[in-house]
Amino acid sequence: MQSDTPANSIPSFSFQVQAQAGRARAGVFHTPHGDIHTPVFAPVGTQATVKAITPAQLEEMGASIVLSNTYHLYLRPGDELVAEMGGLHKFMNWPHPILTDSGGYQVFSLSDSRKLDETGVTFKSHIDGSLHQISPEKAIAIQENLGADIIMAFDECAPPYEHDYNLRALRRTHAWAERCLQVKSRPDQALFGIVQGGVFPELREESARFIASLGFSGHAIGGLSVGETKAEMHHMLEVVDFVLPEDKPRYLMGVGSPEDLVNGVLRGIDIFDCVLPTRLARHNTAMTRTGRLNLMNASFSREAGPIDETCNCYTCRHFARGYLRHLIVAKEMLAATLLSLHNLHTLLQLAREMRQAIFEGRFDRFAAEFLAARNDT
């Protein structure tokens, strides 16, 4: 299904829903660097590298899209340097689809001394304290220099429970979304708009309606998994699910525990990203189908079995829990690599299994059984 808003849609991108099961969808998003089969999880490569992992290892585990951060790359090494080096795909050696966020979330969460007005945001770098301004126009210019396949409109992410703040942020995000669409120029990039609105159903609905009306190539839901309850997150997804057009991909930003993926797909989400799998890995924690294991625990030191008997990742095929615990205790870098390989594989594999279950008309049962087996839900 091609977009019905040709003025803003980009011919080299198209999205097809291939199967549905309730609100869950299996689809394919065509991009200049390859097809993305949804539901999909995007590993995060904040600084143009998925931490502790080579691109070859990402390919081996079947990753199809990687996210990188506009804010970080703008500050270091600089988007102009990346452009000069041939763009982000070449720079980080990921010749497959890449998504860059708008920098909005990081400006609000990482930098100091923000001054915010209609023009944009003025902030101090978290690296060296230098002063910078990012406007909607600047966010697009940076992302055009980076050259990702999917780029994001500049948005303001407000604290989830402050209604008036969210209302003001929403107005600004909407105005910025229009400006982003106006200045976007590269036909080989798909621009996604971001729905905001905190935990307020009427704001979420208004935002979804407005953003959907602008003719973006896809839609993201921002400002979730930032402190609200799971029930509130699910409610917000349900509100926007019925408003956003079905023929465009939907991306739930920054969300990525296994149960969040299943709950998101149940509510119409196609794309996820999160630092959780790699961050947990660097904190000695393995994600499994049913919960989490902290492998620093001395009880694992003599265990000859893998993290997860049912897992087919490189780590589980070759290494015992006792060995991983040894690497952690000995402060060896390989621990972070092997746990990152496992955790990323777990989410990529879960997305593949959900896709298969949707095709086979058994996704509701799959989701119910998966969620019932979790220790942490």
Asked if residue 324 lies in contact with residue 300, where contact means CB atoms within 8 angstroms, the answer is yes
Sequence-separated (6 or more) residues with CB below 8 Å from residue 184: 140, 144, 151, 191
CB of 70 vs a second copy, minimal distance in Å: 15
Tell me: does residue 377 bind a second copy (CB under 8 A): no
Q: Which of residues 54-93 bind a second copy (CB under 8 A)?
A: 54-57, 76-77, 81, 84-86, 91-93
Q: Which of residues 116-175 bind a second copy (CB under 8 A)?
A: none
Residue 101 among the catalytic residues: yes
User: Nearer Cβ to a second copy, position 67 or 199?
Assistant: 67
Q: Which of 302, 312, 362, 368 binds a second copy (CB under 8 A)?
A: 302
User: Nearer Cβ to a second copy, position 66 or 190?
Assistant: 66
User: Nearer Cβ to a second copy, position 53 or 214?
Assistant: 53
| Locus of tokens 């890995």 | 281
CB of 281 vs a second copy, minimal distance in Å: 11
Q: How many CB atoms lie within 10 A of CB 7?
A: 8
For the residues of 91-146, what is the DSSP string, one character each? HTT--S-EEE--SHHHHHHH-EEEEE-SS-EEEE-TTT--EEEE-HHHHHHHHHHH
Q: Which of residues 88-127 bind a second copy (CB under 8 A)?
A: 91-93
Residue 273 among the catalytic residues: yes
Amino acid at 106: Q
CB of 343 vs a second copy, minimal distance in Å: 15
Tell me: does residue 52 bind a second copy (CB under 8 A): yes
User: Nearer Cβ to a second copy, position 56 or 372?
Assistant: 56
Sequence-separated (6 or more) residues with CB below 8 Å from residue 94: 45, 55, 58, 66, 88
Q: Tell me the window of 98-106, 128-136, 227-235, 329-337 that interacts with a second copy (CB under 8 A).
A: 329-337
Tell me: does residue 312 bind a second copy (CB under 8 A): no
Question: Going by DSSP bridges, is the β-strand pair 190-195/218-221 parallel, antiparallel, or unpaired?
Answer: parallel
Q: What is the largest CA-CA distance in the chain?
A: 62
Q: How many residues bind a second copy (CB under 8 A)?
A: 39
Exactly one of 79, 260, 270, 273 is catalytic; which is it? Answer: 273
User: Nearer Cβ to a second copy, position 272 or 323?
Assistant: 323
CA 88 to chain centre: 17
Question: Going by DSSP bridges, is the β-strand pair 24-31/34-38 parallel, antiparallel, or unpaired?
Answer: antiparallel
Asked if residue 144 lies in contact with residue 185, where contact means CB atoms within 8 angstroms, the answer is yes
Tell me: does residue 49 bind a second copy (CB under 8 A): yes
Q: For the chain, percent helix, then strand, then coil, each to nearest 5? A: 40, 20, 40
What are the catalytic residues? 101, 273
The footprint of a second copy (CB under 8 A) covers 47-49, 51-57, 76-77, 81, 84-86, 91-93, 301-302, 304, 314, 318-320, 322-323, 325-327, 329-330, 332-334, 336-338
